[in-house]
Every structure is written in C-alpha cells, then in structure tokens.
Amino acid sequence: MIGTVLGNRYELLEKVGVGGMAVVYKATDKLLNRHVAVKLLRSEFQGNEEFIRRFNIESQAAASLSHPNIVSIYDVGQSGDMHYIVMEFIEGKTLKEYIAERKGNIYWKEATDIAMQICSALEHAHSKHIIHRDIKPQNIMINTENVIKVTDFGIARAASGGTLTMEAMGSAHYLSPEQARGGYTDQRSDIYSFGVLLYELYTGQLPFDGDTTVAVAMQHMQSEPVKPCRIKEDLPRSIESIILKAMSKEQRLRYESAGLMLSDIKKAYTDPDSIVKSDEEEEDKFGTKKITPIVNITIPGDGGSGKNVVRRTDEDRIKKKKSNKKDTVAIVAAAVTCVIVAIIMGVIVAKVVSKPQEVTVFEMPHVKGMTEAEMTKALQSLRDEGFEIEEIYEFDRNVKKGEVIDQEPKMGQIEKDVKIVITISSGKEKINLDDYTNAPLEEAITSLENMGLIVKTSQEMSDEIEEGKVIRQLPSAGHVLETGDSIRLFVSSGPNKFALDSYVGSELSEAKAELELQGVEVTVTEEYNNTVPKGVIISQSPAPGTEMMKGSKVTLTVSLGVEIITVPTLMDLTVDAARDALTNKKLKLGEVTEISSGKAKGLIVKQSIAPDTQVQANTAVDIWVSKGAETAPAMNTAPEAAGNDGNTSDTGL
C-alpha cells in the first residue's frame, strides 16, 4: 500500500499503527502539502457490510467532535473498495509508551494535568451523546508540546438512552464490568475505563492482570483493586478516592458524568487534602455498631417445660474477673457515672418517645452547566419547600456568563434545612487598564499576568525612557479588557537603537504597524508558498536581533498561499510544444509514452490530467504521443516467372 494515492490527493508514506478494524498510515496531503494520518479499513473487512457500517459510524461520530484534546477529522472517502478517514497526524507517543518510559515515576501533579485533559475530552464527547467504549492509554497520544489527544472512536456509538451490547467490546485490562458481561453501557462505562487508566497512570501498575482475557474480565466483575496509596505512598488521598469512585463495580456508584469527575480532579489538583465522598458513603449515612452476642440456652424444667437463662460468654467472664479486682472507689465512681448516664438517657428517650420525628429527604438535581434561568426552574420545587438557596457570582474565563459553575450539595438526596449554594459565572472579569508608562518591564508583566492578561512585548528606542522600562502600551490606560485578552508593552532599548524582533509567522498588517511605529521603513515582497498561509510572513531581512535605528529599512516577504494553475490543452501538440506550454504555466512535463494512433506521428493523443483542471504549481503532466498507425505486413505479389530474381525489366514489359 505504500505509495498508493487515495482520492488523487493522499499519498501513503508508512504504516504507523494497526487496530482491530483498520490500519493507520502516515500520509502526505498533496493539495495542502502537509502530513496527515489515514485510517484505512482492513482488507478482510472491505466486503463486510457490518464492519463498513461501524467504520462509517466512527467517521460520523468523530467528525462531530471539536475539542483541543480530541484528534481532528479532516476528510472521509472511498477509493474503489477502500474506505478511509483522514485525520490530524500527531507527532508524539502514546500514553502507554510514556508510562512505560517513566516506569511509573510520574509526579502526581503532572499525572493530574494529563487526567484533566482526558476528562475534558470525555466531557465534550459525552455532551454529544458519544461514548468511546475503548478508553485505554494506547488510544491516548501526547504530542511534542505535551498536549493530550484522545484517538480512535472505532467502537463509539450514539449513546441516546444507552445501548445493550451483544458482546463485550474494548480491551480486557480497561473493560468495565458491564462491558465484560455484555450488559447496559453508558457514559459511566467510559468513566470506569478512565478510572483504570488513572490507576495505571498514577501507580505505574494495572489494577487487575491475568494469564487470559477471561481471567482479567472476571477480576473486573468480582475483585477489588489494591488501594493506590499502598503502591504510591505520596499519592494524595483525594486522588485515590477519585480513582476508586470511578472504578466502582456498580454504575450508580460511579461519577454521574465526566464533568462531575473533572470538577473533583481540578479540586484535588489545587487542594490535595480535599475530601472526595463516594456515593456509597453518602447513601450509608448511619454507621453500624457491632454488638456482642448474647447466648440463649434452654434448660429443661419440671413437667417437660423449660426456661431460658442467659449464659455469659468467655469474654464476659474474663471481664467480670478483672472488674472484681478494682478497688471500691472505682466501683462507686462507675456506679455514680452509670446513674447519671441513665438519667440523661432516660430524659432523651422520653423526649424522643413523646415527640417522634421523621427525617424527610428531597432530591437535589444536577444543575451544573445550566443557564441561570434553567437552574432557577430546576430548583423551584426545593425553594417552595423552604430551602435556602444562595447564589454566588464569580468571574470565570472558561464558563459563559450566566451558566452554573458549581453546586453544593451535589446531585442526590438531601435533608430538610440544608443550605443550597449555587455558583454562577459572571463571565470574563472586566479589567480597567492602568498606565504602565515608565514602569520596569518585569513589574508590569507580573501585574498584568496576575490579572489574567496575555502580555506581548516589543522594543523601540527612546531618548526619554530608561532602557528596560515601558515607553507605552496598546491598548492605552483607561481601556476595559477581559481576562484572556492581550496587551502589548513597548519597552525602551535605550537611545538611538533597538533589537529587531522576529516577525516570521506573523500577520503582515500587525508586523507592519509595529515596525512603522518604531520608525522603520517597511518594504513588502510577495511569493507563493505551499506551507505558509496567505498573508503570513515567510522571511525577513535583516534577521531578528539585528540592531536597528529609526529610519532603518526592513523587507518582509509575505506568502500568497498555494499557487493554483489551470492545466492547458496539450492535444495535437508536439512534445516540444507541450513542454513549452507547461513551462509557461509553471508546470512540468512528466513521462512521455509512444502509442499507435491514427493521428500523425509525433502528435499528442492523450494527457494524464484533463485540460482546465486546477493543480498546484510544479505538478507533472504525463503525455502519450502518436507513433503513427500500425501498417499491415507487406505481401509478395510478384509473379514467379518474372526472371531469376523475380524483377521485371526497366521497361515494365
């Protein structure tokens, strides 16, 4: 398959992975000149309608997802009998490889950062009603910038209402109990597999292992894992609680959603000593006391009747023997204490008996992520019952204004008079810019970043402002920004000189404006480029770091984007004429093949790319040239009696 071009666009370069349904190749997108990953349905399944159906489900499911921690889908196609998906190519390694390289020695905060990215991806997928069903470190990629990418939705399925699987799918070591027994699966099945993944990420070990997949699956259904803190003693208890809650055997005891789990993970990251309660603990609110058994023995009496006496156990006899040794003072004190306790207990019991109370419980809905109006409607019945509901507003750059950030208590049963606290997003925080003119650069950066702004800097010369201090700022003082916005500080490089910044990769308009503000004369040249988007700077002269002065000149070369050429008609031209026509169009002459044709020898009868087709510059066009019509073999029709050599005389007589 190496070298095959799919859809006249994607050239397969090398095999990079093999899955249960497909083979993954690294490929080149010849139109956009970039590397992509092509997932090609395996040849043995090309004629299998069920596998093709699953393959199409994968493409439709994955294409509907748009998240920084989920691999992007670029294209879906079919070439002959071959079905394929084109997706983002990740330069990096799998999480399984990363864990193996680190040999289980991953600092818990680094592991938690990875966990938050994966959980965020699951939250997005579940919000689209898509369950992954094969969460494992082999399906998690880490790119060269340490960004997590969840891959392979090969067995994902629309999850509306859940699906009763007819067979356990996924990998045995990360399989949820319900998948192992072919039961009802939903988003909590992904949460279980994610919990197993976290167990391995934090400890370097799998919770269950065995010689066969059946043995491993049985452990998932029946066995409890060794607690993670017994393997990694420095692991926070909050992290252990999150893992074990996610790995609960019963679906109802796991996290209800990836969003709730993500909230606990974030809390544990900032506060490792936070308490994460399991649903089982919340349900079992009253402890169970162990009572020493009393042994009843029936002793036969007169007339066949019997009576029951209470025999002391050995433990009681030992206690009595020890108590006999106590002095009189201790006995008196104990007796007095018993009397006081009995009186107090009698009063309490009398009150309870005289005024019996029943505990009424109410259902707290899950309102996190709702709008303020939706939340108000959902809590109306509790408000009518007299519950106190406090609404707190906080700035949050990641949650839209008016949406619920958090709730306390969480979803589930609550008792009367519990105070309900709802945290609502006020959106991004508004920041009224101060004037940082003449401020030291480091102090200005620290102040602005603490307010949640992104700081960019440029140098320019100044005769008035001391080197290393801010000359001016964009936007200027008094402007109102939001958290996450950018501000540029122009820093003094001293009088009469400054170091030229690098503008390669920047937009022309932005770079030109900055340079002109520094008194630099800008010259712009343009050229086509297959890799740099249109309007982005390809190169600059002089190079970054060059010492500049006011009035200096800088040349910026800007990309015109990919040059698209219309293929000319080569039919009936000679080879030389075709070469000239292609060269004039910035195209190349490819292979030349001679074939028999009714056309005159030397004329082109066929070309590999049809006329008026648009292609990239420097594309090669193959041609087929006529070598004339094939002639029939000559037949000897001369009379045998025409002389010894068969020729007639010069006179023709």
pLDDT 10s digits, 471-504: 999 988 888 888 888 899 999 887 777 788 999 9
Inter-residue contact 82 to 46 (CB < 8 Å): yes
Average pLDDT over residues 211-231: 90
Domains of the chain in sequence order? 5-88 (3.30.200.20), 92-282 (1.10.510.10), 361-425 (3.30.10.20), 430-559 (3.30.10.20), 564-626 (3.30.10.20)
* Beta strand pairing call for 553-559 and 130-131: unpaired
Is 126:186 a contact under the CB 8 Å cutoff?
no
What are the tokens at 117? 């990215």
CA separation for the pair 502, 99 (Å, rounded): 37
pLDDT band at 300 (very low <50, low <70, confident <90, very high): very low
CB 169, CB 75: distance < 8 Å: no
Distance CA 589, CA 603 (A): 15
Residue of 368, 380, 371, 377 lying closest to 409 (CA atoms)? 368
Exposure class string for 91-123: b at 16+ Cβ within 10 A, else e:
ebebbeebbeeeeeebebeebbebbbbbbbbbb
**Per-residue pLDDT at 159 exceeds 70:** no
Q: Which helix (H) or strand (E) holds 348?
A: helix 328-354
* Contacting residues for 558 by C-beta, under 8 A, at least 6 apart: 508, 524, 525, 526, 527, 535, 536, 537, 538
Average pLDDT (29-50) is 83
Q: What confidence score (pLDDT) does residue 343 get?
A: 59
Residues in Cβ contact with 600 at an 8 Å cutoff, skipping those fewer than 6 apart:
626, 628
Helix intervals (H) in 257-387: 258-270, 279-283, 314-323, 328-354, 372-378, 380-384
What number is the average pLDDT over the span 438-459?
A: 89
Q: How far apart are CA 152 and CA 134, in angstroms?
A: 8
Give the Cα separation of 487 and 502 in Å (integer): 18
Mean pLDDT, the chain, integer: 80
The 3-class secondary structure across 587-602, one letter per residue, is CEEEEEEEECCCCCCC
3-state SS, residue 92? strand
pTM, full prediction: 0.45
Report the pLDDT value the prediction gives residue 416, as an integer from 0 to 100: 76
CB 522 within 8 A of CB 554: yes
Pair 105, 78: CB distance under 8 Å = no
| pLDDT for residue 168 is more than 60 | no
Our answer to whether residue 396 is catalytic in this structure is no
Whether 29 and 20 have beta carbons less than 8 Å apart is answered as: no
Higher pLDDT, 117 or 518: 117
Q: Within 10 Å of residue 195's Cβ, how many Cβ atoms?
A: 24
**8 A C-beta contact, residue 41 and residue 52:** yes
Looking at residues 82-99, what average pLDDT do you find? 90
Query: Which member of 29, 134, 279, 650 is catalytic?
Result: 134
pLDDT at 648 over 60: no
pLDDT band at 622 (very low <50, low <70, confident <90, very high): very high
Helices (H), 434-529: 441-450, 508-517
Residue type at 424 in one-letter notation: I
Which strand (E) or helix (H) includes residue 622?
Answer: strand 620-626
Residue 13 vs residue 340, higher pLDDT: 13
More confident residue, 464 or 59: 464
Contact criterion met (CB below 8 Å) for 628 and 601: yes
Q: Is the pLDDT of residue 203 over 70?
A: yes
Residue 295, pLDDT > 60, answer no
Average pLDDT over residues 244-271: 94
Q: Report pLDDT for 10.
A: 93
Cα separation, 353 vs 347, whole angstroms: 10
Tokens 């101060």 appear where? Answer: 434
Q: What is the CA radius of gyration of the chain?
A: 40
Per-residue model confidence (pLDDT) at position 302: 37
Q: Which backbone phi and psi does 274 adopt, to 5 degrees?
A: -65, 155
Q: What pLDDT shows up at residue 202?
A: 95
- At 298, the pLDDT band (50, 70, 90 cuts) reads very low
Contact 240, 207 (CB under 8 A): no
Question: 363 versus 625: which is more confidently predicted?
Answer: 625
Q: What are the backbone dihedrals phi and psi of residue 349, each rounded to the nearest 5 degrees, phi first? A: -60, -40
| pLDDT for position 395 | 82
Nearest Cα neighbor of 240 from 412, 119, 112, 110 is 112
User: Residue 392: enclosing H or E segment and its boundaries?
Assistant: strand 389-394
Asked which of 142-156, 160-174, 282-296 is least confident by mean pLDDT, the reply is 282-296
- Give the model's pLDDT for residue 248: 95
- CB atoms inside a 10 Å sphere around CB 434: 14
- Grade residue 603 by pLDDT with cuts at 50, 70 and 90: very high
Query: Is the predicted pLDDT of residue 31 greater than 90, yes or no?
Result: no
Q: Which residues contact 401 (CB under 8 A, 6 or more apart)?
A: 425, 426, 427, 428
pLDDT of residue 261: 96
Alpha-carbon distance of 412 to 2, in angstroms, equals: 56
End-to-end CA distance of the chain: 71
Token duo for residue 44: 């043995």
Tell me the H-state helices in 464-551: 508-517
- So what's the pLDDT on residue 417? 73
Q: Please count the other Cβ atoms lying within 10 Å of the Cβ belonging to residue 262.
A: 19
**pLDDT greater at residue 315 or residue 624:** 624
How much is the pLDDT for 103?
Answer: 84
Q: Which residue has 């992904």 as its token pair?
A: 190
For range 588-594, the mean pLDDT: 93
d(CA 492, CA 337): 82
- Greater confidence (557 vs 22) lies with 557
Q: Which two tokens stand for residue 330?
A: 């201790």
Helices 108-127 and 187-203: crossing angle in degrees, nearest 10, is: 170
Q: Measured between alpha carbons, how far is residue 343 from residues 329, 331, 336, 459 in Å?
A: 21, 18, 11, 84
- What whole-number distance in Å separates Cα of residue 408 and Cα of residue 423? 9
Share of the chain above pLDDT 70, in %: 80
Question: Of the candidates 542, 491, 540, 545, which has an alpha carbon nearest to the alpha carbon of residue 518?
Answer: 491
Smallest CA-to-CA distance from 623 within 596, 593, 588 is with: 593
Q: Would you state the pLDDT for residue 349?
A: 44
Distance CA 559, CA 557 (A): 7
Structure tokens at 362: 């109410």
Amino acid at residue number 137: P
